[in-house]
Structure 1
């Protein structure tokens, strides 16, 4: 069963390193590049280059270079006219650890690259080369990449940046993780707080894909994704239960839960790990992919797709992107 990505979302899973990925049409302000990966135990350094060509020697608008040499630091630079510019270094709060997963997000702003690591703002690097000249992302060095995703490509536009706020009370999120109700909106959203609720403009339609990227924190018990109607019917309840090592799928119609579906070949959800979920509404069923691999199908129990107008995400989860 083929994976189908959402509009404006170009993912690549488990590429071999070194790896070059073209950016069709070039970078533009409002686009973002997401990398999820792992730092090996034997690491010296790795780099992510935003290059102005797919050949060696091309100009590099942004050279992002973590170095593990006892002086752990991240070096930023630009390569132009076969010459490196002046380095900019970030030495404090080194965010990478051997044997640990990470997520890096490069947000393309009009004046700079905004670099977020593991959900936290890390660095702002002002452009020395126009964004539009960037033609590919190049990853090399001591690193394993599970996914690289270009968001806002193919004419798509990014939704608003959402700054998380921290609750004074609440049960579902773990202490120290953001929580609030998001006003109804559609489209891609970066770092949305949890609980997350968004309106699906026009209701659900066949062949529409929803992307949810995030992180399951250590100590988390469960989180769920609901596709709901304005009257409260839950057409799809996708419930990741970390404490039970299972994923439950169900529907709540007429005030009653139906029979649970729990079958799966493997469980990709574990505390302390990042995930990438794609849910596609087919003519007869939902097709769910996790980290680029088919996870399950769920036959429609509520066939009036146009009435499903709300996406809801709650529980012990930190979200980095929601796009549809």
Structure 2
């Protein structure tokens, strides 16, 4: 049935950093609310603005290759939506890549971290805080890096996409 909550492309609305609903028992969640299924695509109500934070909590799969968290301007596939920031964890190289893609042009990937914060089969917490000139990215409470805005109209950044080898346990 079209628009069914069980559809894998169900959208969860985010509003000021909080889910619009509180999940009750698992039975209620399956019946009434969209599930946090990977790949995930959700709408950030009102888009980003200075002071707004996106929270992703999850568990890395047991034998991961990679996963990515992206903030984009809409969810268009053709042409692809502009990507304000993409955080990609690559386990084979123990690399954390960050990038953007505007009008189909990818920026140079930024590398070089003193450590790799994700561990297979372990929980994690990623916070992306929007400030005026940049995003500040925290993993498990530690500031990991700053990423300066390539998209100046912050309110246009209104979608979060998550894919790869992880389970999402909470979005806010």
- TM-score between the two structures when normalised by the length of structure 2: 0.79
* Match status 1:185 vs 2:34: no
Return the alpha-carbon distance in structure 1 between the equivalents of residues 145 and 60 of structure 2: 20
* Match status 1:194 vs 2:43: no
Unaligned runs of 5+ in 1: 1-162, 166-178
- Match in the other structure for 1:238: 87
Return the alpha-carbon distance in structure 1 between the equivalents of residues 10 and 111 of structure 2: 30
* Match status 1:207 vs 2:51: yes
Q: Deviation per CA, 1:136-160: give whole Å up to 9, x if none.
A: xxxxxxxxxxxxxxxxxxxxxxxxx
Return the alpha-carbon distance in structure 1 between the equivalents of residues 46 and 147 of structure 2: 22
The structure with the largest alpha-carbon Rg is: 1
* Match status 1:252 vs 2:125: no
Unaligned runs of 5+ in 2: 24-34
Partner of 2:46, secondary structure, is coil
CA RMSD of aligned residues (A): 1.9
Q: Which residues in structure 2 correspond to 1:212-227 (within 5 Å)?
A: 212-227=56-71
How far did 1:304 drift? 1.2
How far did 1:200 drift? 1.0
How far did 1:184 drift? 4.7
- TM-score between the two structures when normalised by the length of structure 1: 0.43
Q: Give the number of equivalent residue pairs.
A: 147
Return the alpha-carbon distance in structure 2 between the equivalents of residues 184 and 213 of structure 1: 15
- Flag as ranges the 4+ runs of structure 1 deviating above 2 A: 187-191
Return the alpha-carbon distance in structure 2 between the equivalents of residues 225 and 201 of structure 1: 17
The answer on whether the counterparts of 1:182 and 1:195 sit within 8 Å (CA) in structure 2 is no
Return the alpha-carbon distance in structure 2 between the equivalents of residues 245 and 256 of structure 1: 25
* Match status 1:315 vs 2:160: no
Return the alpha-carbon distance in structure 2 between the equivalents of residues 253 and 271 of structure 1: 31
Return the alpha-carbon distance in structure 2 between the equivalents of residues 228 and 308 of structure 1: 5
Q: Which residues in structure 2 correspond to 1:262-301 (within 5 Å)?
A: 262-301=111-150
* Match status 1:228 vs 2:72: yes
Partner of 1:301, secondary structure, is coil
Partner of 2:55, secondary structure, is strand
Q: For the structure 1 residues 208 and 311, does the alpha-carbon distance in structure 2 shift closer, same or farther, using more than 3 Å as the test?
A: same
Q: Deviation per CA, 1:263-318: give whole Å up to 9, x if none.
A: 22221112111101111011111101111111111111112101111111111110
The answer on whether the counterparts of 1:265 and 1:295 sit within 8 Å (CA) in structure 2 is no
Partner of 1:260, secondary structure, is coil
Q: Which residues in structure 2 correspond to 1:97-176 (within 5 Å)?
A: none
